[in-house]
Structure 1
Amino acid sequence: MTRIVPFELVDAVLVECGTVQQRLRKLPARVIVYLLLAAALFEDCGYREVWRKLTGALVGLPLVKVTATALRHARCRLGIRPMRALFDVLRGPVCAIRTTGARWKGLLVVAIDGTHLDVADDEAVRAKLGKGSNQHTAASGYPQVMLVALVACGTRADIDAVFGPRKPGESVLGRRLTRSLTSGMIVLLDRGFSSNPFLTTVAAAGADFLARLSSGRKPPVLAIYADGSFLSRIGDIEVRVIICEITIATSAGRRTGAYRLATTLLDHRTHPAFDLVRLYHERWEVESAYFEIKKSMLGRRVLRSRTWPGIAQEIYALLTAYQVIRIAIADAAQASGADPDRC
């Protein structure tokens, strides 16, 4: 952790955010940053137990005694900005030019998708986020934060992430990620992100996309190419549409479905339809990233915090700790010549 997130980096972030303590405290701001990062790695513990894990090897040294209240006050003093700034420093594709599987025909392969994180069912949090509902009840389950991430498929690293209430929806929230889209990227998108406004926003950022269209879309056929794809238009964007059949095999059996993929890569000679269909399978890497965060790290637990500032601080710490792990994996893979997404 301190190799990838050294003390000097944390101190620089604290200075930039103006959150360096004004007087020497038992719990300086730098210590609380590492406490939050460690808490993301020990999600089954409360903050006092995380503190004991952090200091457990310091036998014989005169350590301060801290209470749960002191840790809570220290986290409140730190606020959200330093954890968000630290994530901003570390986020990125973490791949070199030769990283296996990171690029396709010279394009950096990325994906955008959304997921939900459960948070404590506290009255103030519920008022901000609301609760889910179903046909049996008006409100059910824990309140949830919607997290939408831009992930590098070759390394499963976070290039960017945003989060907020479930409404107005993942595609609206995800438009904020276009700040991190550039030319030289191919963005893989599921049906939830195939609306005209979202695709227009991605194209305006200079990135290419490969998106699955919903079954209700009826794009016009303007020209048919030799590989079976056809030229069409979505809003003001010229696209190629590919109709394909994809079979998914899992432990629950095999399932086959018809997919319609739209892309801004219009040349069927340099980007054949079959190659694009194979590329679309890489979209699943963003789902694997969410599995790592929600299952491997969180263990499907509810986030600890019971206030919105605390929740935001905890999510940025979780994303930062995840990114640190992916950086370490990418470094190890690069040294051995392995494919990072197999680690």
Structure 2
Amino acid sequence: MLSNPLHATTEFVPLGGLDRLAEHLPTAWIEEALSATGTASIRRRRLPAEQVVWLVIALALYRGQSMPEVLASLDPALPSASDRPVSKSAVTQARQRLGAAPMQSLFNQTARAWCAQDAERHAWKGLSLWAMDGTTFRAPDSADDCLVRMRVSPQARAKSPELPEPWTARAVRMVCASGKQRTLLTSLLDRRRYKAEALAECYRRRWEIETSYRELKQSMLGEALTLRSQQPEGVEQEIWGALIAYNLVSLEMAKAAIQAKVEPTDLSFLRALHILQHEMIWAVGMAPGKLPAHLLRLR
């Protein structure tokens, strides 16, 4: 509860129970994001910017709990000499001071670093896989695997003059899970290295991004119709926090998958989220020296 006294400390430490996730998100990264956006805490506050970052991330991890319950579960150590409770207005003001820019900066920084981890293990034929969600275009039927030439629009060439007038692509016909035939366009023209069957199988992995959206919005945020924040800056800040929280859970799943010698997609996101939520609450009362060994066994 917000009325519970929060113990004081003179140095920043990760929020209680977040030790496992804090291994992936060093304090130095948070400080760098705050410094780069000019939002670092210059003077001692009861809610320093570093801990507000973790609080915003925790809002996504504990989506089904109120703000007082989130603070009570995390039991943050605040740099204050008094045992006065942290009021709701103090939390609101702290989030307003933080803004959205540090969360966006931290997301970009962590996304680059985490993508580089174990990149070779998750590569496909030596290539990194990236997904972009967008729209589709209908094309005339052609051979199952052929080259096509498409005209680049004047609008596209005006924005990017280096684009050629015609664009050569490879069209591979495939059958999707629903049984419908679709045409996959790709710039990978080497048929010997990138066989049509392998491309079709790789394309099916593109739908994993839809699974990620469902995990983020339904499993983690509980299909909530609205976010907590009411101000535009707070909404943007909360979204960046949710994205970082989702990536933290996914990263821990990837690490566990490596040890289990399975694919991360073979693991249940909802189960992993519940385990981390319960363990973070339970870990508050555990001796710090026992945490690493216990959390390692969870994997």
Question: When the two structures are superposed, what TM-score results if normalisation uses the length of structure 2?
Answer: 0.69
User: Shift in Å at residue 79 of structure 1?
Assistant: 0.8
Report the counterpart of residue 46 of structure 1 in structure 2.
Answer: 66
Deviations 1:121-173 (A, max 9, x none): xxxxxxxxxxxxxxxxxxxxxxxxxxxxxxxxxxxxxxxxxxxxxxxxxx5xx
Cα distance change of structure 1 residues 243 and 8 upon mapping to structure 2, 3 Å threshold: closer
Deviations 1:230-253 (A, max 9, x none): 11112221011122333x2xxxxx
How far apart in 2 are the matches of 1:27 and 1:285?
A: 37
Q: Is the 8 A contact 2:120 2:126 kept in 1?
A: no
Say whether residues 1:231 and 2:126 are aligned partners: no
Say whether residues 1:257 and 2:180 are aligned partners: yes
How far apart in 2 are the matches of 1:31 and 1:56?
A: 8
Q: Report the 3-state secondary structure (helix = DSSP H, G, I; strand = E; otherwise coil) of the residue aligned with 1:269.
A: coil
How far apart in 2 are the matches of 1:37 and 1:65?
A: 21
Cα distance change of structure 1 residues 277 and 86 upon mapping to structure 2, 3 Å threshold: same
How far apart in 1 are the matches of 2:110 and 2:44?
A: 28
How far apart in 2 are the matches of 1:311 and 1:322?
A: 16
User: Shift in Å at residue 97 of structure 1?
Assistant: 4.8
Percent identical among aligned pairs is 32
How far apart in 2 are the matches of 1:77 and 1:42?
A: 22
How far apart in 2 are the matches of 1:230 and 1:40?
A: 46
Report the counterpart of residue 218 of structure 1 in structure 2.
Answer: 140
Report the counterpart of residue 118 of structure 2 in structure 1.
Answer: 96
Q: Report the 3-state secondary structure (helix = DSSP H, G, I; strand = E; otherwise coil) of the residue aligned with 2:174.
A: strand
Give structure 2 stretches of 5+ with no counterpart.
Answer: 1-20, 152-165, 268-299
How far apart in 1 are the matches of 2:257 and 2:215?
A: 18
The farther-off stretch of 49-58 and 295-304 is 49-58
Report the counterpart of residue 330 of structure 1 in structure 2.
Answer: 254
How far apart in 1 are the matches of 2:85 and 2:208?
A: 43
User: Shift in Å at residue 94 of structure 1?
Assistant: 4.8
How far apart in 1 are the matches of 2:31 and 2:190?
A: 49
The structure with more radius of gyration: 2
Give the one of 296, 308, 316 matched to 2:219: 296
Q: Report the 3-state secondary structure (helix = DSSP H, G, I; strand = E; otherwise coil) of the residue aligned with 1:104.
A: coil
Deviations 1:237-287 (A, max 9, x none): 1011122333x2xxxxxx321111111112223222222112211112111
Aligned positions of 1:137-156 closer than 5 A:
none
Cα distance change of structure 1 residues 308 and 278 upon mapping to structure 2, 3 Å threshold: same
User: Shift in Å at residue 12 of structure 1?
Assistant: 2.9
Give the one of 254, 262, 278 matched to 2:201: 278
Residue identity matched to 2:203 = Y
User: Shift in Å at residue 63 of structure 1?
Assistant: 4.0
User: Shift in Å at residue 313 of structure 1?
Assistant: 0.2
Cα distance change of structure 1 residues 17 and 285 upon mapping to structure 2, 3 Å threshold: same
Give the one of 171, 181, 184 matched to 1:241: 171
Cα distance change of structure 1 residues 12 and 233 upon mapping to structure 2, 3 Å threshold: same
How many pairs align? Answer: 228
The farther-off stretch of 268-277 and 30-39 is 268-277
Residue identity matched to 2:251 = I
Aligned positions of 1:1-343 closer than 5 A:
1-55=21-75, 63-92=83-112, 93-99=115-121, 102-113=122-133, 171=134, 192=135, 194=136, 214-215=137-138, 217-218=139-140, 228-235=144-151, 236-246=166-176, 248=177, 255-301=178-224, 302-343=226-267
How far apart in 2 are the matches of 1:16 and 1:49?
A: 31
Q: Is the 8 A contact 1:83 1:313 kept in 2?
A: yes
Q: Is the 8 A contact 2:146 2:172 kept in 1?
A: yes
Q: Which one has a larger percent strand, Structure 1 or Structure 2?
A: 1
Q: Which has the higher contact order (CA 8 A, sep 6+)?
A: 2
Residue identity matched to 2:118 = A
How far apart in 2 are the matches of 1:234 and 1:288?
A: 31
Cα distance change of structure 1 residues 112 and 79 upon mapping to structure 2, 3 Å threshold: same
How far apart in 2 are the matches of 1:80 and 1:107?
A: 33
Cα distance change of structure 1 residues 20 and 312 upon mapping to structure 2, 3 Å threshold: same
Q: Report the 3-state secondary structure (helix = DSSP H, G, I; strand = E; otherwise coil) of the residue aligned with 2:240.
A: helix
Cα distance change of structure 1 residues 64 and 2 upon mapping to structure 2, 3 Å threshold: farther
